[in-house]
Structure 1
Amino acid sequence: MSAGCLLGIDIGTTATKVILVDLEGRLLADVSRPANLYSPQASYAEEEPIEWWANLCSALPECLDRAGVQAGQVLAVGVSGMVPTTILIDQEGRPIRRSIQQNDARTPAEIEFFKSQTDEADVFRRTGSAITQQSIGPKLLWLAKNEPQNFARAAWVMGSYDYINFCLTGQPVLERNWALESGLYDLHRQDWDDHLLSLARLRRDQLPPVHSPSEVIGRVTRQAAQATGLAQGTPVVAGSADHVASAFSVGLKENGDLLVKLGGAGDILYSLDRLEIDERLFLDYHVIPGLYLINGCMASSGSIIKWFRSTFSPDLDYPELDAEAAEIPAGSAGLVLLPYFIGEKTPIFDPLARGVLFGLTLQHTRPHIYHAILEGISFGFKHHLEVLAERGFGVRMVRVANGGARSALWRQVTADVIGYPLEEVAHHPGSSLGAAFVAGMGVGAFQDWSEIEKYIHVAATTYPDLERHARYQQLFPLYRQLYEANKANFTRLSHIEGLAGGE
């Protein structure tokens, strides 16, 4: 261990994760602590930043001990986390209240106010972000209106990993993806938009300086060293948004690289070497200077599979469901599923959309329906690829990760539907690995971003079956037409439910 090691930290929704890696591609140790999500009212999503820091102070000594590493051997620290969370910090550096999470939906009135005071299309062109429930501005306005005393005490506003960086270094900073996803930042001028700040009732001095991921933003203070077991003076970089760090850590490092994440929600991320915005997709800065990440997020994917199993097959585990459906033909004997079980984010942005199982007959069985679910989720990924193709964005390589990637059937159906080989990344530590590598780049431990490949192990490549792919090419237009044909009915159903709820 004479060469030293790197520390990666991820502030996740359900856990705080810490890893140590050496410079040769080996994971030395990893430790996690659970985190709690609070929903004191319907549509609220909050977490306790102090809990994240307590988790880190607990997990770090254990991680060092498991790795057999002395604190002085840690060359640098990188932190990733959920984005864009909203945390108010007082003048003494303490969180004033719980964080408001990125998926919190308490601000419909404030969102409408922002829209009424702006040209939405112009805001999107300037900031790269639509005005949605994820936007920071409406949440700050909600705080100013509903918690004026808390809002008045705020010296700074920052995000999840920015707060941990602050605890480690005493330096208030923002990483540039928080700025971009806030919806308050003009990405062309690389500066805050004063009109949008005024709508949020926010002053410029409440927003810390914006830094790139691998910039060293400070060093571990004496107090933080005592609390965590790290060595005083250890460099800390600005870090990264969790999904950006995760995409990089599976090898998205060149124009045209694509990641499909088979998780509870379905994420798809595409690496691009120029700034392009599309109202159907999200945009982030890549950790690699000069690159961007276009990304899509389907509201539900693996969560549908989990719902199906718990509701209809609680006695079977997932491998058994896979085995049952393995011989079902492409198209599931005439079944097509719309996977909009909790509305949909990208690329249709329709919160009123619903799940649809089209084509049911008395001949269909549980395996048919399970297989149709996998196909419907895969059609959702294909829809994103169609959007990319419309923009002329070619695909160089596709990697697949997250828990669903362990299912050979889900991987095969996905490959068959989208028509690309899928490289499965084995034993993927996730965002914390990306954060650790970014820290290494920040202190010169690596010479090139391509060195991330030494940490990546492709377990298997799943190739598409061309005959099944041809069948899915025929079915995909029907999948798309099903949504368009039912869009008005989704709205009508929501109105009926609203009336029923009020009786």
Structure 2
Amino acid sequence: MQFILGIDIGTTNTKAIAFTASGAVIAQANTTYQPLIPEREAHELDPDTLLQAVLTVVQEVLAQTGRQQLAGLSFSSAMHSLMALDADGQPLTRLLTWADGRSRRAAEALKASPDGPAIYQHTGTPLHAMSPLSKLCYWRQQRPALFRQAAKFVGIKEYLLFRLLGGYWIDHSIASATGLFDIEALDWYMPALAAAGVRPEQLSRPVPATTILSGLRPEYARLLELPTDTPIIIGASDGCLANLGSYALLPGDASLTIGTSGAVRMLTSRPRVDPLGRTFSYILADGLYVCGGPVNNGAALLTWYASRFGQGTPPHTHDLSWFLEAAAQAPAGADGLLFLPYLAGERAPVWDAYARAAFIGMGPGHQPAHYMRAVVEGINYSLYQVANAVKETVGDMRTIYVSGGFIRSGDWLQWLTDLFGQELTVSNTADASATGAAILGLKAVGLLPELAAARAFLEVQERFVPDPQQHTRYQQYFKVYEGLYAALHPAFHQLALLGNDPL
């Protein structure tokens, strides 16, 4: 049976799955890498490491499946990345990821500028250090020589496609997360380009997510043992494709993901921009948009806590089941201990790179289990706050599909269900973004009539039902949690000044 190779290029790993026209995963591969942090707030990747990662997972999957039934390669990638290239396409910088916070001052200036509200309304991208718009403003101000030398500014997927195919394209989905793209006109938004100081020819050509490219360079065709005319589906962003890969495709369906970070998203039939600026509105494909909000601090907080305050040897920082088992020894609400989970600043719904983490309500009776429970619940509260903002922007969530590494913990899922007060559904998705890329590829090459037809692949693995008493208890704690950021916001910014991190 024919299959699509869905490839998801992330900031810590690259995954590939072979996904058949009947919705079966017949092979998969994964490779990891580490970010580079040359200075405070930096978060970079070596672009050639990413290219090698893609080649590796493609070779590993094709070694399992063979090549005869391959219908195409379809790409998912992380959003908000940026690197500069010279006129020959050679890198002038490494790749700045969404987590690179050095453009915080530029983002704050944009947000406060007269053009700020219009840029958000037209692009659907909140003004934050994550966005390429802010990164470009930062480079323009802090690295003017680099800015003058750069012929092209591209992201992860664009650079890889340039290396593989020799051209510059950007899918509408990734473009819609740059802060530079008009999500209704489907073209670059000139006021945003003017704010960044770039010209349209310095950016890639925007194309729909189902666009099929070809012309694999001979050296890569030989390496991968593929014809040069192998269909390459440009694909979409990892966040939008996670909705597709989670089968959250009907009105009222939501996707909730917790990995290193986290997000809540809903599919919409038109752009839905929040009047309060709390959420994003990005393009998926075929007239579909995704409204949602990402949080910076997901399961990475468990690793952080384990490495700083955990017990035992380093393996504990990789297998965190012990953490959740310990957290389960404390009651819901951790006996009055709350955790504000802004260790790495925060995106939705507050969009404040200067926000920081804090334990609130510490008392002499709190044991390690209380702190661990509070950390997990802090992540849950942050996602619930995002979900409320999404619901206010789009409408009620009928079904919530969950994905990410956290679904291996029944305790964590139950606590989240109790907080939300509605069922959470675990589906059969192996990797939501890679699966979404494969589904999009099936549609592009004609093996799937429409994206909604992928619902036929859905298999519900488990449903978690809320406990009404626990829901009531969590709502009481959440009311306190909601007020913490506003109360501490002035202190966060004062501490940034005292820490030689000027606004």
TM-score, normalised via structure 2 length: 0.90
How far apart are the structure 2 equivalents of 1:446 and 1:97?
Answer: 40
The superposition leaves residues 309-355 of structure 1 with CA deviations (integer Å, 9 ceiling, x where unpaired) of: 33333237633443344354332222222222333221112333333
Counterpart Cα distance in 1 of 2:187 and 2:409: 44
Q: Is the alpha carbon distance of 1:170 and 1:203 closer, same or farther for their aligned partners in structure 2, counting shifts above 3 Å? A: same
1:136 aligns with 2:142: no
Whole-angstrom distance in 1 between the partners of 2:77 and 2:209: 12
Question: In the alignment, which residue of structure 2 is the partner of 1:331?
Answer: 333
Question: What is the CA-CA distance between 1:414 and the residue it aligns to?
Answer: 0.3
1:206 lines up with 2:202 in the alignment: yes
Query: In the alignment, residue 47 of structure 1 is paired with which amino acid?
Result: L
Deviations 1:150-175 (A, max 9, x none): 54554433221122233333332111
Equivalent residue letter for 2:297: S
Could you tell me how far apart the structure 2 residues matched to 1:496 and 1:109 are? 16
Match of residue 59 from structure 1: 57
Pair 1:300-2:312 in alignment:
no
SS at match of 2:176: helix
In structure 2, what is the equivalent of residue 345 of structure 1? 347
Sequence identity of aligned pairs in percent?
Answer: 26
Aligned equivalent of 2:446: 444
Alignment of 1:225-374 (within 5 A): 225-278=221-274, 279-287=277-285, 289-315=286-312, 318-326=320-328, 328-374=330-376
1:83-232 matched pairs, under 5 angstroms: 83-108=79-104, 110-111=106-107, 114=110, 118-144=114-140, 150-152=146-148, 154-232=150-228
Name the CA distance, whole Å, in 2 between partners of 1:25 and 1:277. 33
Instruction: Say if 2:413 is the partner of 1:411.
Output: yes
Does the 8 Å contact 1:381/1:418 carry over to 2? Answer: no
Structure 1 residues 481-496: aligned runs within 5 Å: 481-496=483-498
Q: Residue 465 of structure 1 corresponds to which residue in structure 2?
A: 467
Q: Does structure 2 retain, via aligned residues, the 8 Å contact 1:158–1:207?
A: yes
Q: For residue 17 of structure 1, give the secondary structure of its aligned residue in structure 2.
A: strand
State the shift of 1:462 in Å. 1.0
Provide the rounded CA distance (Å) in 2 between the counterparts of 1:37 and 1:29.
Answer: 27
Deviation at 1:436, TM superposition (A): 1.7
When the two chains are superposed, the root-mean-square deviation of aligned CA atoms in Å is: 2.6
Q: Aligned letter for 1:88?
A: A
Q: Do the aligned partners of 1:18 and 1:59 also contact (CA within 8 Å) in 2?
A: yes
Unaligned runs of 5+ in 2: none
CA change 1:369–1:78 in 2 (3 A) is same
Matches of 1:25 and 1:39, distance apart in 2 = 39
In structure 1, stretches of 5+ residues that fail to align are none
**How many pairs does the alignment contain?**
495
* Pair 312,144 (structure 1): closer, same or farther in 2 beyond 3 Å: closer
For 2:429 and 2:186, the matched residues in 1 are separated by: 37
Query: How far off is 1:262 after superposition?
Result: 2.1
Shift of 1:145: 5.7
TM-score (norm 1): 0.90
Alpha-carbon distance, 1:205 to partner: 1.9
Q: Could you list the per-position Cα deviations for residues 456-485 of structure 1 after superposition, in whole angstroms to 9, with x for gaps in the alignment?
A: 443211111011111122222111123333
1: distance between equivalents of 2:348 and 2:79? 17
Deviation at 1:426, TM superposition (A): 4.3
Specify the code of the residue in structure 1 equivalent to 2:288.
L
- Which of 13, 16, 28 pairs up with 1:15? 13
Whether the 8 Å CA contact 2:132–2:178 is kept in 1: the answer is: yes
Structure 1 letter corresponding to 2:407: A
Deviates more, 1:273-282 or 1:308-317: 308-317
